[in-house]
Amino acid sequence: MHAAQNPPPGRQPTDSRAKEAYLAMVERIAMSGARDAEAEREELGRMPAELARWLTDRRLLAPGGDRLSPPDRALRHLVSEHRRRLRETAEELARDARAMEDVLSLAAAPRFDAREAVETEYFTDREHTRKRLEELDALGREELLAMRNSFPDAQVLEASLVRDREMVANGIRMRMLTSQQALRSHAPARYLNALTDAGAEVRVATTVPLHMNILDRAIVVIGAGPGPQGEGGDVILHSTPVAQCFVRVFTHAWDLARPHTERHPQRGRPGLELSAQEREVLALLATGAKDETIARRLACSDRTLRRVMNQIMEKLGTSSRFEAGVTAVRLGLVG
């Protein structure tokens, strides 16, 4: 049928057309007999390669490519993979924690041959910390290492970007390590893209252990407050030996991270433009309701329901119903 025809060379089928093609194949196979194996293989043999890749990515096509998988089985596979990734993330965090404990034990080890007084500054107002950082950044000569699990608002980031570009232009090597969570907001993604364009190095980890700057491996700035960015207290330590310990923490996390290559911010504006009908669909999805139940509740056709779901996924910047549900819960769009 038309939805299953080959798309133009080099283009992937759109989500809506791919879904329609999948449903059409399921219907034709079912009409040929109770999942007749030969009919199914013939149908799949005529399937365009782009559609096969789309289905395989969503676990709707068996690994051998010889049979279709029902959505519930595909969902179980996706959930299983998600759990596996969570376990790997937990193991990575445990390794980071052990590395920090090792480094801190070295920093706290007694030195009997010499003692060093560490100059310390402490700020309880983040704005005062930023002004002090401007003074310190102006003294930078070689390198700035930074860790960020989250970022301030867009206005603060724009002001920071001006100073960061000046530092890179002056020959200072800048390395920024951030988390996947931080990249999900538009302003941080735009800031990191601009930073990369300016010549800084940016890597992304599942999470990072500290909100921290290290300047010339001699000055350490750490957010020591209770907030996600260390709000409520910032400590500045002027000590090369102490800074070297934190450099080891940074290097360990940096080596495990991947380069930042995503050049586009997320699609959509989550939660800001959802209609009452779309919010009702999200709420029903969150309860595990099936398509027939949702369509009956909304008094609409299956085609209309698919259109509404596609609109929701587009606005939330997701590629599947499962991801849309997770994003909606995270953004507080459903209870």
Give the tokens for residue 37. Answer: 């194996």
The average confidence (pLDDT) of the chain is 79
Q: How do residues 208-255 score in pLDDT, each as one tens digit?
A: 888 899 999 999 998 876 665 556 688 999 999 999 999 999 999 898
Produce one character per residue of 116-136: b if its CB has 16 or more CB atoms within 10 Å, e if not.
eeeeeeebeebeebbeebeeb
Helices (H), 60-217: 71-107, 126-138, 154-169, 186-198
Among residues 45, 255, 46, 234, the alpha carbon closest in space to that of 128 is found at: 234
Among residues 223, 248, 247, 220, the alpha carbon closest in space to that of 236 is found at: 220
What local confidence, expressed as pLDDT, does residue 32 receive? Answer: 65
Among residues 63, 61, 58, the alpha carbon closest in space to that of 78 is found at: 58
Q: Where are the domains of the chain?
A: 2-69, 119-259, 268-330
With a CB cutoff of 8 Å and minimum separation 6, the contacts of 29 are 35, 36, 39, 40, 43, 68
What local confidence, expressed as pLDDT, does residue 250 receive? Answer: 92
Asked if residues 270 and 327 have their Cβ atoms less than 8 Å apart, the reply is: yes
Judged by average pLDDT, the poorest of 56-70, 79-93, 301-315 is 56-70
Measured at the CA of 185, the angle between CA 183 and CA 186, to 5 degrees, comes to: 105
User: What mean pLDDT do residues 57-64 have?
Assistant: 80
Whole-model pTM: value is: 0.47
251, 252, 253, 258 alpha-carbon torsion, rounded to 10°: 80
Q: How do residues 271-298 score in pLDDT, each as one tens digit?
A: 446 777 888 888 787 777 788 888 888 8
Q: Mind spelling out the 3-state secondary structure of 238-296?
A: ECHHHHHHHHHHHHHHHHHCEECCCCCCCCCCCCCCCCHHHHHHHHHHHCCCCHHHHHH
Q: Is the pLDDT of residue 9 over 50?
A: no
Q: How do residues 167-212 score in pLDDT, each as one tens digit?
A: 888 889 999 999 887 777 778 888 888 888 889 999 998 878 888 9
- What's domain 268-330's architecture? Orthogonal Bundle (1.10)
Judged by average pLDDT, the poorest of 24-28, 290-294, 310-314 is 24-28
What local confidence, expressed as pLDDT, does residue 272 receive? Answer: 47
What local confidence, expressed as pLDDT, does residue 205 receive? Answer: 87
Q: Which CATH number fits domain 119-259: 3.40.50.2300, 3.30.870.10, 3.50.50.60, 3.40.50.300?
A: 3.30.870.10
